[in-house]
Amino acid sequence: MRALLKSLGDIWRLAIPYFTTRDIGEARFWPIRFKAQERWIALSLLIAVIGIELGSVGIDVRLSYFSRDLYDALQNKDGPEFWSQLLFVFCPWAAVGISSAVLQLVMRAYLTIRWRRWMTERTISNWLDGSAHYRMQLTGSSTDNPDQRIADDINQFTTTTFTLGLGLLSKFTSLVSFSVILWTLSAGFTVPGTELVVPGFLFWVALLYAVLVTWLTHLIGRPLIRLYFQQQRYEADFRFSLARLREYGEQVALLRGEQAEHVNLSGRFRALIGNFLQIVDCRKLVVAFTQSYAQANAVLPFILLAPYYFSGKVTLGIMMQTVGAFSNVQSSLSFFIDSYASIAEFKSVIDRLTSFAASAQKARALSTVKPHIEVGQGGQDLGMQGLEVALPQGKTVVRIKDTTLRHGESVLVNGPSGAGKSTLFRAISGIWPFGDGAIRVPANAKVMLLPQRPYVPIGTLRAALTYPAAADAFPDAMVRATLDDVRLSQFADRLDEEAHWGQTMSLGEQQRLALGRALLAKPDWLFLDEATSALDEPLEQAMYHLLPQKLPGVTLISIGHRHTLQAFHQRHIELKPAADGVSEPVDVQAVTLVAV
């Protein structure tokens, strides 16, 4: 019971934000377009869908009386009554039922896609806000494959919520409606073979029978919840491995790593298949049991009612109406049994979305949970006081008592591999909260950090160059001039060509593309984390000459291992491990900046 209440609570927490949001949405009620709060559009559609569902149950109840009268007409060989029931009762109600079913399908699909769109946008925002997408990778959370959770799990959640929710509502309404009919029709029935009268005898038989079978179904199919959860993870891991192989195809080919990749992919696929076969084994038992139950249901009401019919206590019409009522009650009580596999898969989707939301919230909260690195604004210089930069596991890698990077100066930071140079840059940029102390960045300054391996989005080369600004944020002449500045003029005619540029360009070309972004963005402070490591020394020298020319007044902070870089910086800081292994900054020397 506790697990059921928890699952219902999770569904409520996932679903209710959409139906209470105050976001403004646009809708069309042909041919009128209008804007309103999204919650009112959603609730209006939901009420309409539920109303149609309840109406369809009412039609089923009315047709149960049609069934009784039709069979009585057949038993009495009353031709006029038979045709009257078909033409003036069945046909009108059937037409209403068909029309309402089509209307409900359209309204339900419209509501589902609106809900999915809103939930997807909200989930993406929560994932991206506060660099949660990055921090979730650092915290070692169990949130795997966020792409699948956003693309697939939200789709399954919105679709299955309506499927199961409306199914449950329909079955509950049918249960109430047909229970009254069944109770009334079997009010005077006696227990077969005795004279004991049990009010609503057939209702109690249906109820006890369904409860017993539901309990047995749950015992048999309970492992499906865990297996479906694992299957989604195995499927996503396999897809991710394939995508990663495509992304790093050149490196794999150079290392002749095809055999190793084949072994890796085969291993992941074997895990997928193994889990799938476990699902098949479990579902085999569930299907065998539920199908046996379904076959028994087809004849059980006739077995129970036959003695009363043969004894003349009920007519053929009443018998058929009673059979129909018994079947509807039994079907309603069997909702859990018939939908067990879908419910198990739905439960795994809920668990994945809930854990994803919790992990994103935990990642965003890292900047508020003590201890953490406080990044504030003030003054013109960048200051670090009492700063300790740590790994997510808590180990301190950099310790800075009091260091200031002055506005307008160029600084080279180097040190042994693993000294924490890149981690320090991440802390300054505000995306690395692990540690303690304070970093003060210049107020209202535009800060930009270029990593060693740039991010190159799939799309046009123009969009890749202007990223994260829009592709049309800069004049065409400026974009082309920037390409020429960073020695990429050979791509000028391909600016609007869509391609996977991260695979088309060499790493050196990608690094120059990133430097072009900096020229367009014109930051006040530019941090280069080995951002020219793939360039040869003459080309690297040309880029370092270019930056102060195109970005006068920029404060340039570089990480690099080449000694030639010292000539392009006024100040040289080396991170040296102290006695306890924690790196501390040491000013090595002041140098004369190479003339531009």
Point out the least confidently predicted range of 28-42, 180-194, 572-586.
180-194
Contact 370, 174 (CB under 8 A): no
Contact 543, 537 (CB under 8 A): no
**Which tops the pLDDT comparison, 50 or 248?**
50
| Whether residue 284 sits in one domain with residue 173 | yes
Query: How crowded is the C-beta side of 538, counted as CA atoms within 13 Å?
Result: 1
595 inside domain: no
pLDDT tier at 168, thresholds 50, 70, 90: confident
Rounded CA-CA distance 292/543 in Å is 76
Rounded CA-CA distance 451/560 in Å is 11
The mean pLDDT of the chain is: 86
| Whether residue 406 sits in one domain with residue 315 | no
Q: What is the pLDDT of residues 403-449, one digit of tens each?
A: 999 998 999 999 998 889 999 999 998 888 899 999 999 988 899 99
Q: Which of 529, 582, 518 lies closest to 554 in space, CA to CA?
A: 518
| Whether residue 311 sits in one domain with residue 379 | no
Q: Tell me which of 348, 366, 384 is where a domain ends.
A: 366
Q: pLDDT value at position 102?
A: 92
pLDDT tier at 584, thresholds 50, 70, 90: very high
What's the token pair of residue 351? Answer: 């668990």
596 inside domain: no
Rounded CA-CA distance 454/470 in Å is 17
Check whether the bond before 454 is cis (ω within 30° of 0). no
Residue partners of 490: CB distance under 8 A and separation at least 6: none
CA distances to 84, 189, 197, 555 from 193, in Å? 40, 11, 11, 98
Instruction: Residue 427: give its domain's CATH number.
Output: 3.40.50.300
Q: What is the mean pLDDT of residues 77-99?
A: 91
| Whether residue 328 sits in one domain with residue 418 | no
Q: Tell me which of 300, 334, 366 is where a domain ends.
A: 366
Q: What is the mean pLDDT of residues 464-473?
A: 92
Q: Is the confidence at residue 141, as pLDDT, over 80? A: no
Q: Which of 574, 580, 508 lies closest to 542 in space, CA to CA?
A: 508
pLDDT tier at 591, thresholds 50, 70, 90: very low
Q: Which domain holds residue 162?
A: 2-366
Report DSSP state, residue 563: G
For 214, the enclosing helix (H) or strand (E) is helix 201-221
CA distances to 1, 271, 278, 585 from 267, in Å? 38, 6, 17, 46
132 inside domain: yes
Based on the structure, what is the number of domains in the chain?
Answer: 2
Residue 438 pairs in a beta bridge with 374, 385
Q: Tell me which of 328, 345, 366 is where a domain ends.
A: 366
pLDDT tier at 145, thresholds 50, 70, 90: confident
Q: Is the confidence at residue 250, as pLDDT, over 70? A: no
| Whether residue 143 sits in one domain with residue 80 | yes
User: Of how many residues is the chain composed?
Assistant: 596
Q: Is pTM, for the whole model, over 0.75?
A: no
Q: pLDDT value at position 596?
A: 40
Q: pLDDT value at position 557?
A: 95
| Whether residue 327 sits in one domain with residue 381 | no
Q: What is the pLDDT of residues 206-237, one digit of tens each?
A: 788 778 887 888 888 888 878 888 888 888 88
| Whether residue 585 sits in one domain with residue 479 | yes
Q: What is the mean pLDDT of residues 481-495?
A: 94
Check whether the bond before 31 is cis (ω within 30° of 0). yes
| Whether residue 381 sits in one domain with residue 264 | no
| Whether residue 360 sits in one domain with residue 387 | no
> Which ranges in 383-453 belong to alpha helices (H)?
421-429
The string over 56-84, giving b where at least 16 C-beta atoms fall within 10 Å of a residue's C-beta and e elsewhere, is: bbeebbebbebbbbbbbbbeeeeeeebee
Check whether the bond before 468 is cis (ω within 30° of 0). yes
Instruction: Residue 57: give its domain's CATH number.
Output: 1.20.1560.10
Residue 559 pairs in a beta bridge with 413, 529
